[in-house]
Amino acid sequence: MGTMDDKVVLVTGASRGIGEAAVRAFAAEGARVVLLARSRGDIAEIAGDLGPDQALAVPCDISRFWEVSQAVEAAVDTFGRLDVVVNNAGVIQPIARLSEADPDAWGQTIDINVKGVFHGIRAAAPVMEAQGSGRIITISSGAAHNALEGWSAYCTSKAGAKMLTEAADLELRDRGVRVMGLSPGTVATEMQREIKASGVNPVSQLDWDDHIPPEWVGRALVWMAGPAGDSLGGQEVRLRDEDVRRAVGLID
């Protein structure tokens, strides 16, 4: 018996990195998982590994609400309910000084990192309210709190997503839905390779060994989706905190 038996979990940005790690962590605990990403082939391959009884791949651009809404409908039609949404999909580009940033690229980051989170909450909330239960977890970042050179789009978007998370919990908590954030710190994913290649600000100077593995984030998300998350509504859990790492079981 897994800790997530009979639960249905939808993960955005599920084709790689934190998203893939989350999908596999939830599946390992018995959850049925719904994978959303623009990379049709990648999520199909991961879902194929898990099998049709446990996984559903839905190609989706989270910047378009109708696509996210249809993905939620597909999850409910296939598995009968929706218990957890992980708003993970996000982009770091453009990494550029404000005076040089491409306006269209800057706006696209807002579309994905902020509107994408809103779309996930907006599509899932009515389903969860009708059930009387649910959990929505947004991947946050220290960038939501501290400005960094070249990251105006990313920092702004993460700050917006943090406030969306708090607003959603305020509105949904009395209806059985808990909304919270997870700030994992720096994670060994493709995004960190983009950051490293940019050479901009101190984060790009970190060594690869400084980053935690995405599997740690997957395990933390499973922990938050369980009983431990009952008291975390509206909060931002920081995986850099050793007490959190200990509670998740990542360190002794």
Catalytic amino acids?
154
Sign of CA dihedral 32, 214, 59, 90: positive
For residue 73, give the DSSP letter: H
Closest CA to 136 of 146, 149, 122, 150: 122
CA pair distance 172, 122, nearest whole angstrom: 11
Contacts of 178 (CB under 8 A, 6+ apart): 134, 135, 136, 169, 172, 229, 230, 232, 233
Output the CA–CA distances (angstroms, integers) from residue 41 to 37, 47, 58, 236, in the order listed. Answer: 10, 10, 10, 33
Q: In 3D, which of 129, 116, 9, 126 has the Cα closest to residue 65? A: 116
Q: Which CA distances in Å does 18 have to 89, 96, 121, 148, 152?
A: 9, 24, 19, 22, 22
